[in-house]
Amino acid sequence: MTDKSIKQTIEQLIQEKGLTAPRITPEDLKANIVGEFYFTGADAMTGAMAFGSEANTGRIVGAVDVNCLKLLTFCVLVLKNGFTVTGESACASPENFNPELGRKIARENAEQKIWPLMGYHLKQHLHETS
């Protein structure tokens, strides 16, 4: 069973059981995202070096193959209020690296960080209005 089908099954069960109290739905989460950005660790290093700041260029201690940064994918999601969350995906074997899959996994990891934030916000709202 895929993550998507598991999520759909859970959502279906919630609806079948008539659980109608206030909650965060997958649609609420998606609607709260107003921007998404993807880049690899190599992209980040290149961009940081373009600014020429020593603080932005990182440092290498020992023997490091910076090509490994090409296997690390980041996703930055911007929420309606301007808050950002990040997700990442790291591929162990260069032969298995797939940019599309890396972005998908990184986005899923970023979305998982939104649930508790939105849950807290809803709980606070329910507390204040009770």
User: Which CATH fold topology does 19-41+70-129 show?
Assistant: Double Stranded RNA Binding Domain (3.30.160)
Evaluate if pTM is beyond 0.75: yes
Beta-carbon count within 10 A of 14 CB: 13
Give the range among 15-19, 50-54, 105-109 with minimum mean pLDDT. Answer: 50-54
Q: What is the mean pLDDT of the chain?
A: 89
Q: What is the pLDDT of residues 70-119, one digit of tens each?
A: 999 999 999 999 999 999 999 999 999 999 999 999 999 999 999 999 99
Are 50 and 56 a contacting pair, CB within 8 Å?
no
Query: For residue 40, which of 78, 65, 75, 86 has the smallest C-alpha distance?
Result: 75
Q: pLDDT grade, residue 57 (50/70/90)?
A: low
**Rounded distance, CA 55 to CA 18, Å?**
54
Query: For residue 110, which of 27, 36, 17, 13 has the smallest C-alpha distance?
Result: 36
Q: What is the pLDDT of residue 63?
A: 64
Residues 6+ apart with CB under 8 A from 36: 75, 76, 77, 78, 107
Q: What is the pLDDT of residue 45?
A: 83
Helix (H) or strand (E) holding 7: helix 3-16
Domain boundaries of the chain, sorted by first residue = 19-41+70-129
